[in-house]
Amino acid sequence: MIYKLLSFTLIASLMAWYNPKPADEKTYTLEGKVQDANGEGLIGATVLVKGTKNGVATDFDGKYKLTVKDSCNELNVHYTGYQSQTIQQCAGSFLELTLSTSDLQLDELVITAQGSERKSIAKKDRHIKPSALPKGGHPMQYASPTTPQHNTENYAHIEENRFHRVSQEPLSTFSIDVDAASYSNLRRFINDGQAPPADAVRIEEMINYFDYDYPEPSSEHPFSITAELGACPWEPKHQLLHLGLQGRHIPAEKLPKANLVFLVDVSGSMDAPNKLALVQSSLKLLVEQLRPEDRVAMVVYAGAAGVVLESTAGSQKTKIREAIDQLQAGGSTAGGEGIKLAYKIAQQNLVKSGNNRVILCTDGDFNVGISSDGDLVRMIEEERKSGVFLTVLGYGMGNYQDHKMQQLADKGNGNHAYIDNLDEARKTLVHEFGGTMYTIAKDVKLQLEFNPAQVAGYRLVGYENRVLENEDFDDDQKDAGELGAGHTVTALYEIIPAGVESKLLADDKPLKYQEKVETPKNNKNTTKELLTVKFRYKAPDGDKSELLEEVVMADAGKNKAGENFYWSAAVAEFGMLLRDSKFKGSSTFESCKILAKNARGKDDEGYRAEMIRLLEAVALLGKKELRAEK
């Protein structure tokens, strides 16, 4: 009797999330396009049946396709920065809807202190005194009408890497990071009329959001190594070292068989068009990439966890899409139980030497069962021993738990992306399918040794949560980052050359009892070396690391730096301005924009042009309020 009662309870819980329609229920399809005044499609616009939770986000061309129960429906259409509209559409017609820009202009946005409650302010009262503006060109924090009033988003505190004196600390060690969640998340803030919180700005993730033109690996190692040296744009007396890794590209048809488990958060906090509805659209994009030999299962969790799709062949796309379409949100969030069950399903269908991966889609708001960061991380560290990797896709706003999702991805031998619209889903799950879904090297670490004859001090730009102890480099038990097929990884070091006086080293005094080192000993030729960089990595299923070593010469800066160098520098400069970094030097939004425009280079997908627009928008937010007071 007890067994039957428990079974009934679990079935009832699952039915709340997974409600397949009766076979004889008639449905209709509404299709259309949402565009701006120039006829350009608006990517990620929300199209929602009025009074329901049934909605979709527009695709890369601004088009939508929505399944409905009635032949004619009222639709609510919304896109940030444009006037929302309610329209009537009947099946059988293709609707082209043009949205007008919102009456709420950039100079009418409301400035608030970070974390304070937003107030409704009349247009005539929206001018802010210059004394309210932060000094140093740092953009203000603005509130938007679409921003949730009770913001519980969580970000780990970032203490920026400082400069180190080479005579005391010649070694710098860190783990690679291929995550790009920070960039798409801060884009969401800027598009919503706000400056992102400083701790949401991870400069290495901004840099690594973009592709770079590095050579394909030509050796037995799975990645190539590129180093460039040039003058630092924001500190002309300093140098900037650009290090780039290029993961080997693998054609989709040659990727190992995939055993995927979609783990979907269907709790009440996911009940929003930019959450569960966007998750569904994202996963259907991924389903289109599956081959017949691939398999996918789906686990959902709210108050409990359950399997709504057993492991299914990639050839059965209709069956998989139908399972995705029937998901509904409601209840509390037992994320820990969901993770356990997803790993269990993945292990039951494990493909030897294949791509075994759990794909978690959530806002990170776990509140039932195992929910503390420490317990979740320990569980993930244990589960990764099975050979199953983890990809974490973050969604939503207002209660987005960035720090928790970062930790899970890092400890799960995986990656973390933030999906703010369908175009970002397409970038992550279609264009970068191999890099996101298939690991070619794990536990990738770098260690640089600087030559005191050439370098007085150095600073790693970003990677604050990836810095390792120097002894961790040779420790194969120490976890580090993973590199996906076709992925690029870029890191920047700001270097103070030997003989250059700098107040940035003033807090790092020479030691009393240490001998001053002018040149390396034993080999006069090494005085021409700027530094030596070592790399360690393991095969995806390996336990022993491989070692590579490269030397960068001091005269490397004589060669003209290319677009890779200057674009990464522009992105780093943008990040420092957003953070109001004490290391931003002479940076301004104008100088950053000029640098970015000159280094834009090949930009087939328009991502670099988009960053320049974001840069201009943030600069404009500050200038508008200043002009209003004159």
Element (H, E) at 612: helix 607-628
The pLDDT assigned to 433 comes to 84
Left (φ > 0), alpha (ψ -120 to 50) or beta: where does 606 sit?
Answer: left
- Of 25, 50, 20, residue with least CA distance to 324: 20
Cα 487–chain centre separation? 14
Q: Give the pTM.
A: 0.76
Left (φ > 0), alpha (ψ -120 to 50) or beta: where does 5 sit?
Answer: alpha
**Is 612:596 a contact under the CB 8 Å cutoff?**
yes
Classify residue 344 by burial, with Cβ atoms within 10 Å: 0-12, 13-18, 19+. Answer: middle
How far is the C-alpha of 7 from the C-alpha of 301, rounded, in Å? Answer: 16
605 has a pLDDT exceeding 90: no
pLDDT-derived band at 12 (thresholds 50, 70, 90) equals very low
The pLDDT assigned to 287 comes to 93
Q: 81-85, 229-233, 377-381, 524-528: which range is least confident on average?
A: 524-528
- Of 53, 3, 5, 56, residue with least CA distance to 34: 56
Better pLDDT: 109 or 220: 220
Provide the residue count of the chain.
630
CA-to-CA separations, 387 to 366, 539, 541, 543, in angstroms, rounded: 24, 12, 7, 11
- Of 265, 136, 250, 177, residue with least CA distance to 464: 177
44 has a pLDDT exceeding 90: no
Catalogue all structural domains in the chain, each as residue range(s) with its CATH number.
26-98 (2.60.40.1120), 164-180+207-250+441-510+527-605 (2.60.40.1230), 259-422 (3.40.50.410)
What is the torsion angle, in degrees rounded to the nearest 10, for the CA atoms of residue 592, residue 597, residue 603 and residue 609? 70
Q: 215-224, 490-499, 614-623: which range is least confident on average?
A: 614-623
The pLDDT assigned to 108 comes to 32
How far is the C-alpha of 429 from the C-alpha of 324, rounded, in Å? Answer: 16
Better pLDDT: 154 or 629: 154
DSSP assignment of 114-150 = TTPPP----GGG----GGGSPSTTPPPPEE-TTS-SS
pLDDT-derived band at 366 (thresholds 50, 70, 90) equals low
What tens digit of pLDDT does each residue of 457-499 get?
Answer: 999 999 999 999 999 999 999 989 999 999 999 999 999 999 9
What are the tokens at 254?
A: 């040659």
What tens digit of pLDDT does each residue of 182-208 get?
Answer: 999 999 999 888 889 999 999 999 999
Q: 111-120, 427-436, 454-463, 510-519: which range is least confident on average?
A: 111-120
The pLDDT assigned to 511 comes to 67
What are the tokens at 393?
A: 């896709």
DSSP conformational letter for 277: I
**Is 274:395 a contact under the CB 8 Å cutoff?**
yes
SS3 439: strand
